[in-house]
Structures are given as structure tokens and as C-alpha cells.
Chain A
């Protein structure tokens, strides 16, 4: 095309030349001198270059030719102003990079379909209990089978429970995470193992031989990618289990956990009794919808099934409902608002960056007024100049986009490493084609956004003035300064919104950290001891021995045990009865979280006893059964009564426990077990000797701040009691607490970072505009000074104008923030979305920063020498 284009160019040249020649010749024949004739012919012909240009436009390739021309010209302009180019590209790179990075997280977590063939049809079925209690939305096995069989819209449905196992064989047992699932799991997801097969419904029954499907990772790591693994026996929790399949590389289910290494049938597990219990709401349920069945239809079917179940088994199902949601939105439910808020914030940063670059371009446009006037005089049309200016700004934004992708590829690993633990599918985050397309789109958009206003301004120059004058001229006229003022106002407004958002998150975070957890987390070490999978004839004796041995260790102030330490993921609630009260209506029985502890737990955790007594050494397996309740339970179920001496009938707690009356002997203060931001629900504590739990967590209070040093000796004490003891999660309580607020910290840090960048960009913007204004008005300032204005007057003039704009920005930003912060209410804790303290402090902070940004150029203005200023120009 190029060659062909060049030939056409040459032909056009020749055509024009022959035209001129013929015209001149005719004049010569009429008697003019050749020189006169040639000049006249040229004059008559007009603007040769322009004629060629408009003729070329007829060829159809005009836009491309002009574009390459503009491109070359733009590149030259960029090279000529390296400082300007660097400032603009860097600003854009920051904005586009941050946007691409956050978008890749949004893309991987919210947008990309789940990594299963049936992704589009997968739903989660949650049990919704009006009494609360069952936060996890888990379903009992009998209810699950009824759902599966009675809702025709479900193609497959599977029940599963997250679990773990101790993988034996060779050295120390390794704790691996995995899932107990019904055999429908694999057809539901639409996946099959890469090697071997999935387990069958026959293997998903009580008494069936034990089989397992393992992950690709485990197969590689523990079995050296042995092709003969299928059919081999491995030791899971000490049981010989046959490996029947290996999943494909990268397969993970459920995605809420970073990795899962095994999937075993639920039916053949030791949970046989539980699977018959309609009240044991312990299983997560997913389903795949039949082709063409909408979520709403499945919901209607399940509502019908649920209604039948409620009337058939009121004691288990009265009042409960089942809610169907798409699996993907169920998975990301918690992180979605946070990610969207982050994406919105980062786009604000980009908008501010755009405003800054537009400012730079405007300033430069003023300096280029003469060049544009010249081009116009030479015949360039307005559209042509706008096109050229837009090409230049698009070049800038493309460079900014490319640099931004570099920034993103550098920031992304940091972002992934800072994973607060609640973001599913973090490992899938990458710069995929969709992110690249996003970056390209954003770059083009920003190019047009910051380039259009300057381009339109520049293309309307006053020719005479620009050509005659020095080209620097006045401040650019009222219209241009209006655009600049608007940019300042919007920069201030945008950064105010971001700062308010960040401020609210910081206030929430401080409030969160300031919330008393109900115990003293400092200098406490925790370690979980598992007895469910190992063979202990008397687990209580093991716990007792460990407790006694640890208490003897030097530096240990107290050592207690609990079945469920604060901030552990597990969450169960059970029904109970209060002796002497009428049997409650089905669905309205009291519920509470059961905890089994030893007599030292409250002392070790420093949980204050409010009334009565704590559990003591006198409470043994043979003594009177007693229970200690938390204040919330007392408040909710014994309002205006003294619970001490009342008796609770507890049942269905752990496998071994029988329904039996327990006398309330004490009330302790509320412990925020489920996180600092979750108020305590009703809870009761029973001695582990009276209600055998499957595992206990040791909590050791150190007498010295050297808690880490204690870890080794605690582990030593445990293995002294039993060399095969299964211990994990040896951590400090502080760490657990810090980890539990990691999502909030992540959001706060990121939004805070964005707000700071926004503030810095806005400050630079104000500084730039005010400096430019001062420079452009040097002449005027000189006259004012010469006419008797004081330096203070000048200072007031410049700062006053800047601050007026800032106040406009603060006002409009406050109005916008009042509307927008509502969207982040789910991220806030202990602070309202319109918190006046945050708004006032942020407005003050922005004003101070703006004041400094105005003061610097204003001071320069006061130092203008009237004589020099007036000679200038």
C-alpha cells in the first residue's frame, strides 16, 4: 500500500506540475515574460499543498495517511519535550497501572467464570434459619436428599463438608485439607479425574470400602507423580484408603479454601449417624441446574419442597427456608463490595491523573498557540488540528498505558502477596487478555478525556494575536482559565471523596481494633491437639496430662483448653431447653454455641466471671453436670432473671453426649469468638470432662513477653506426653487477631494509598495551575506592584483565587461523598457513613495541602521585580 501510495503521490505532483506548466505556457503565448507567467499561474492555482491534500482525501486512504503523519509529528513533539512527556506518562502510568491491577483482581474473582465445565449452572443452596445460629447456611443430610430428589430443576446436587485428615505413611503424619462429599460432587461440577475415576454412589454408603480421590498437587508432592497410584492404599487418619482417582492439575473445590488435597465419600465416613439426623445441619450443598432452568424456578421448587419438609418434620424444619444463589456470587458475596469500592476509588485516582495531564496539555497548548496559528494559516482545518492534537494525547495515553501495564505487572504480585485470606481464587489473578483489553480501553478513554478539551481550545486560536504577539501572551483568556478552574475544582472534589472513604475505613479499623474482644490476647500462645483421628482410649487423660505438663513449664502463667478458640473458622450452634419451661414451638427453641473447656481456660484467657463461679477442679466426669453461660445467653433467655441455679437441658452437642440437665453455676463476660466485628451470640461453656470434644486447643498465657520462645517448649511438653500427638496451629493469639482483621486492614491500606496518591496528584495539579497563572500574569503583577500594591496584596490575590477554587472543590466533594459513602456501608464498623469527624478532618487536610500548593507560587509572585516584569514580553 505504501509503494502504491507513493506512486499516486508522484503522479499527483506531476499532474499539478503539468497544470502549472500549461497555464504558464498559455500566458507566455499571450505575451507575458516566462517569470511573470509562472508566478501568475501559481497565484491562480492557489495553495498547491492544500490542493494536493484535499485531492488525496478523495483516495479513501486519507485518514490513514494523516494518521501516520500525525503519529510521526506527535512522536517528534514527545521527544522535543522530554520533561513534559515524562510527567504526563508517569502520571498516567500510575493511574492506568493501579486500575489494571485492581481490575485483574476483580476480573479473576468476580468476572471470570468458575473453573468448572458446569460453571454457568452451578448454584449454592443455603438453609436460612430465622433464629440465626446457623450462619454457614448448611443443610442436614436427609433434607439434602429430599431437595435433590424432589426438585426436578436440579440436574445434580451434592453435599459436602470441609475437613482435614492426617496423611500417614513415612515419617510424621501430615495434616492435609480436603472434603467429605457425596458421590454427586463430580457430575455436579462436570469434572472427572485426570487419572482413574471418581468415587461411585456405591462407595458413598455406610460400610463401603474406603476410597479417595486426591489432588494433582498431592500426587506430585507425596507420590512423585507415580502413574501406578491408582488402586494403591494410603493412610488417611490411620485408615487404609484406596486411591481411585487423581484430579486434573489446578482443580480445586471448594474455592473458599486455597487448596484441597483429597475428596472422600461422605457416606462411608464415620459420620453415618449424623447423616440420618434431620437436625444436624452440617453440610454445604451445591447443585447444577438443568439446561434452561433459571435460578428463580429452582428457588420456587425448593420453596415447595421446604414447605412439605416443615410440615412433615416441624421439629427440624419449622421456620427454616432454603435460598438458591448462583455459586459464583455466593462465593464472592463478602468480598464483592470491597473490591467494587476499591475499583471505584482507583478510577477516581485515574480521573485526577487525567485532570492533571489535561492541565499540562492546556499549559503547553498556550505555549503552542503560535505553532497552531501558523498551521491554520497554512491551510489546516480545525478538524485536522483537533485530530492531530488527539493523536498526540492518544500517543501519550498509549505510552502511559504501556507503562501502566508494567506498573500493574509489578504491583500485582505485591497485591497477591498481601492477600488478606478472604479473597477466593487469588491464585488465578493474572494479566489475562481481558485485563489487557481493559487497559487498552482505559488508555484510549483517558487519551480522549484529557486530550479533547485542550485540543478544542487550541484549534480556535486568534490568528492575528498569536502570530503577531510573542505566542506566550496572556493567561489564555477567560475560557481557557475557566477550564483550568474546573479541573482544579474536580480534582479537589475527587480526592476529597477518596480521602473521606479512606478516613471512614481508618476510623472503622481503629474502632475495630479498639473493640474489647472479651479476653486478653497478648502473650497468649495457642496450639490445637487432635484426638479424633488418633487412637486414645481416654482422650481426657491426654488433655489433662498435657495441661499439667505445660503448666509446669517455666514462664507459663496459666494454661487452659477450649474446644473452639476465638477466631476459628468453625461455627456450630445447638438447640437446648430450659428446665421448667413449656416445650417451645417447633422452630423457636433456644440455640447457643457449645464450648468445652477446662478449669483453667477463663484464667488463661482472662475472661472475667460476672456472676457465680467459673468451672473448677471439682467439676469432673462424675460430679454434678454444670454449665457456665455468657452474658448474651443470660440476657436473651433469662431476661430479668438470675440464671444461676437454673438448669439447661443440652443434647446433640458431641457424638457421645446424651440429653441431660446442666446446672448454671456462673455467668462470664461475652467473648467475641467469631471476630471483633461480630457481637457475641449466646454461648455456654461445659467442662470437657462432661462433654467429650474431638479436639482441644491449648491456650498458654506466658508470664513474659517472649511468647515465641515458649512455642518450642510447649511443643516439647506435648510430645513428652505422647510422641504421636497431632498438633497444629501453634500460634500466638495476637497473630490470630491480626489475621482476623486482615481483610479490613487490606481495604484500609489500599484505599488509604489511593487517597494519598489522589491527594498528591491534586496538590501537584493545584501547584501547576497556580504556577502557570502566576507566570502568565507576571506582567500584570508587575503593573500592580508598580501602581502601589503591597506584596501582601499580591499574596492575597493569588492564594485567594486558589483557595476559592479549593473551597468549591471541598463543597462539591462533600456533597458527592455524602452520597457515595453509603455504598461502602458494609465495609464500615462502628462509624456512620456520614461521620462528621471524618468529613471535617478531611476537608481541613485538603484545605491545608491546597493552601501550601497555592502559597509556593504566590510567594514567587510577590518576588516579581516590577521593572523586569514590565519589560518582559
Chain B
């Protein structure tokens, strides 16, 4: 039950999609966890809300893979925040995840609208 409530309020992201979104967000520059979640929300037109229970494990996992690196910085209002940054390895990963995502969405789009090939089949 607790398990269910944990997932109820969010759109299930496909496996690996969150990684892609994070990497993409970090392409604009270093950012902290809260900032990343806000950016994803705003950039998706308030559709995607990233659950903290997914965001932080994902950030720490990406860091362990060496795709992002982290640093403690002092924020504008003088507070210590942990800031994540894309690494060179992360950039490569982003490119490959992007192309995979494009292939996938194209395939899904085709599967959802099969008119073109429908006549031939």
C-alpha cells in the first residue's frame, strides 16, 4: 500500500527516460537537485513532475557512472548547495540516449498511427 501511494501522483517515466531528462537539463549548465526538478517541470509545460524518490537515486547513480560530477557551491543567498555538472562522458551518453529516445518515439508514433502501412498489409 505504501508502495502504491509512493507512485500514485506521478506519470510513470519509461526506464532510462529520467536519466535522459536529467542529462539534457544539465546541458544548459550546472544545477542542483531542486533546480533540475523545477527545470524539468517547467520545460515539460508542468506535465512531468519528478518524484524526489526517483530524482536523487538517479543523480547519485549517474554520478557513480561518471556521467555527472558534483560540487558543493555557495548559493546566491549564501547557502551550501550540491551542484551537478555534465562530464565529457555524460555528454556522449546524452547523445546516445537522445538518439535512442528519438528512435523509440518514432517507433511508438508509427505504431500508434499505422494508416500509412495499413493499406498495404
Contacts of B80 in A (CB 8 A): 14, 18
Query: Closest Cβ of chain B: how far from A251's Cβ, in Å?
Result: 59
Tell me whether A376 is interfacial, beta carbon within 8 Å.
yes
Contacts of B30 in A (CB 8 A): none
Contacts of B32 in A (CB 8 A): 18-19, 22
- Using a CB-CB cutoff of 8 Å, which residues 47-64 of chain A contact chain B? 47, 50-52, 54-55, 57-60
Known: A54-B57, A58-B61. A19 touches B3 (CB 8 A): no
Contact A50 B81 (CB under 8 A): no
Q: Which of B2, B51, B72, B79 contacts A378 (CB 8 A)?
A: B2
Tell me whether A793 is interfacial, beta carbon within 8 Å.
no
Contact A19 B34 (CB under 8 A): yes
- Using a CB-CB cutoff of 8 Å, which residues 10-61 of chain B contact chain A? 32-35, 51-53, 56-57, 60-61
0/1 string, A8-24, CB within 8 A of B gives 1 = 00011011101101110
Contacts of B6 in A (CB 8 A): 46-47, 50, 379
Known: A376-B2, A463-B1. A15 touches B56 (CB 8 A): yes
Contacts of B79 in A (CB 8 A): 18, 21
Nearest opposing residue in chain B for A375, CB measure = B2
Contact B60 A14 (CB under 8 A): no
Tell me whether A145 is interfacial, beta carbon within 8 Å.
no
Contact A46 B51 (CB under 8 A): yes
Contact A15 B57 (CB under 8 A): no
> Considering the chains assembled together, what is the distance between the CA atoms of A820 and B32 in angstroms?
69
> Considering the chains assembled together, what is the distance between the CA atoms of A60 and B63 in angstroms?
12
A-B contact count (CB 8 A): 64
Q: Which of A23, A58, A379 contacts B34 (CB 8 A)?
A: A23
Contacts of A18 in B (CB 8 A): 32, 34, 75, 79-82
Contacts of B60 in A (CB 8 A): 55, 58-59
Known: A19-B33, A59-B60, A59-B64. A11 touches B52 (CB 8 A): no
Contacts of B3 in A (CB 8 A): 381
Q: Which of B2, B33, B34, B81 contacts A377 (CB 8 A)?
A: B2
> Considering the chains assembled together, what is the distance between the CA atoms of A25 and B79 in angstroms?
12
Contact A51 B53 (CB under 8 A): yes
Contact B61 A51 (CB under 8 A): no
Query: Closest Cβ of chain A: how far from B46's Cβ, in Å?
Result: 14
0/1 string, B72-104, CB within 8 A of A gives 1 = 100101011110000000000000000000000
Taking residues whose C-beta sits less than 8 angstroms from the other chain, chain B's interface range is 20 to 34
Query: Closest Cβ of chain A: how far from B82's Cβ, in Å?
Result: 5
A interface residues, how many (CB within 8 angstroms): 29
B52, B61, B72 — most chain A CB neighbours (10 Å): B52
Contacts of B57 in A (CB 8 A): 54-55, 57-58
Contact A22 B53 (CB under 8 A): no
Contacts of A379 in B (CB 8 A): 2, 6
Query: Closest Cβ of chain B: how far from A80's Cβ, in Å?
Result: 25
> Considering the chains assembled together, what is the distance between the CA atoms of A14 and B79 in angstroms?
11
> Considering the chains assembled together, what is the distance between the CA atoms of A424 and B6 in angstroms?
66
Contacts of A378 in B (CB 8 A): 2
Known: A14-B82, A463-B1. A19 touches B64 (CB 8 A): no
Contact A50 B53 (CB under 8 A): yes
> Considering the chains assembled together, what is the distance between the CA atoms of A537 and B36 in angstroms?
114
Tell me whether A45 is interfacial, beta carbon within 8 Å.
yes
Contacts of A51 in B (CB 8 A): 52-53, 56
Contact B52 A19 (CB under 8 A): yes
Nearest opposing residue in chain B for A8, CB measure = B60
Contacts of B64 in A (CB 8 A): 58-60
> Considering the chains assembled together, what is the distance between the CA atoms of A18 and B34 in angstroms?
8
Contact A15 B2 (CB under 8 A): no
Contacts of A54 in B (CB 8 A): 53, 56-57
Contacts of A55 in B (CB 8 A): 56-57, 60
Query: Closest Cβ of chain A: how far from B79's Cβ, in Å?
Result: 6
Query: Closest Cβ of chain A: how far from B39's Cβ, in Å?
Result: 13
> Considering the chains assembled together, what is the distance between the CA atoms of A57 and B57 in angstroms?
8
Contacts of A46 in B (CB 8 A): 6, 51-53
> Considering the chains assembled together, what is the distance between the CA atoms of A283 and B56 in angstroms?
81
Contacts of B56 in A (CB 8 A): 12, 15-16, 51-52, 54-55
Contacts of A463 in B (CB 8 A): 1
Contacts of B61 in A (CB 8 A): 58
- Using a CB-CB cutoff of 8 Å, which residues 368-393 of chain A contact chain B? 376-379, 381
Query: Closest Cβ of chain B: how far from A303's Cβ, in Å?
Result: 68
Nearest opposing residue in chain B for A382, CB measure = B3
Contact A15 B53 (CB under 8 A): no
> Considering the chains assembled together, what is the distance between the CA atoms of A38 and B105 in angstroms?
39
> Considering the chains assembled together, what is the distance between the CA atoms of A422 and B32 in angstroms?
78
- Using a CB-CB cutoff of 8 Å, which residues 252-281 of chain A contact chain B? none
> Considering the chains assembled together, what is the distance between the CA atoms of A51 and B53 in angstroms?
5
Query: Closest Cβ of chain A: how far from B41's Cβ, in Å?
Result: 11
Contacts of B75 in A (CB 8 A): 18
> Considering the chains assembled together, what is the distance between the CA atoms of A15 and B56 in angstroms?
9
> Considering the chains assembled together, what is the distance between the CA atoms of A50 and B53 in angstroms?
7
Nearest opposing residue in chain A for B77, CB measure = A25
Query: Closest Cβ of chain B: how far from A771's Cβ, in Å?
Result: 33
> Considering the chains assembled together, what is the distance between the CA atoms of A18 and B80 in angstroms?
8
> Considering the chains assembled together, what is the distance between the CA atoms of A60 and B61 in angstroms?
9
Query: Closest Cβ of chain A: how far from B99's Cβ, in Å?
Result: 26
> Considering the chains assembled together, what is the distance between the CA atoms of A571 and B5 in angstroms?
84
A25, A52, A58 — most chain B CB neighbours (10 Å): A58
Nearest opposing residue in chain B for A380, CB measure = B2
> Considering the chains assembled together, what is the distance between the CA atoms of A58 and B32 in angstroms?
18
Query: Closest Cβ of chain A: how far from B16's Cβ, in Å?
Result: 15
> Considering the chains assembled together, what is the distance between the CA atoms of A52 and B57 in angstroms?
8
Q: Which of B33, B35, B51 contacts A15 (CB 8 A)?
A: B33
Contact A22 B34 (CB under 8 A): yes
Nearest opposing residue in chain B for A22, CB measure = B34
Contacts of B33 in A (CB 8 A): 15, 19
Contacts of A381 in B (CB 8 A): 3
Contacts of A25 in B (CB 8 A): 77
0/1 string, A478-512, CB within 8 A of B gives 1 = 00000000000000000000000000000000000
> Considering the chains assembled together, what is the distance between the CA atoms of A48 and B79 in angstroms?
20
0/1 string, A614-653, CB within 8 A of B gives 1 = 0000000000000000000000000000000000000000
Nearest opposing residue in chain A for B53, CB measure = A51
> Considering the chains assembled together, what is the distance between the CA atoms of A54 and B7 in angstroms?
14
Contacts of A14 in B (CB 8 A): 80, 82
Query: Closest Cβ of chain A: how far from B54's Cβ, in Å?
Result: 8
> Considering the chains assembled together, what is the distance between the CA atoms of A597 and B80 in angstroms?
107
Nearest opposing residue in chain A for B58, CB measure = A58
Give 26 CB contacts A-B under 8 Å: A12-B56, A14-B80, A14-B82, A15-B82, A18-B34, A18-B75, A18-B80, A18-B82, A22-B35, A22-B81, A25-B77, A46-B51, A46-B53, A47-B6, A47-B53, A51-B53, A51-B56, A52-B56, A55-B57, A57-B57, A58-B60, A58-B61, A60-B64, A377-B1, A377-B2, A378-B2
- Contacts A22-B34, A57-B57 known; 4 new A-B pairs at CB < 8 A: A18-B32, A25-B77, A376-B2, A463-B1
Task: Using CB atoms and an 8 Å cutoff, list the residues of chain A in contact with chain B.
Answer: 11-12, 14-16, 18-19, 21-23, 25, 45-47, 50-52, 54-55, 57-60, 376-379, 381, 463
What 3 A-B pairs have minimum CB-CB distances, sorted nearest first?
Answer: A58-B60, A55-B56, A22-B34
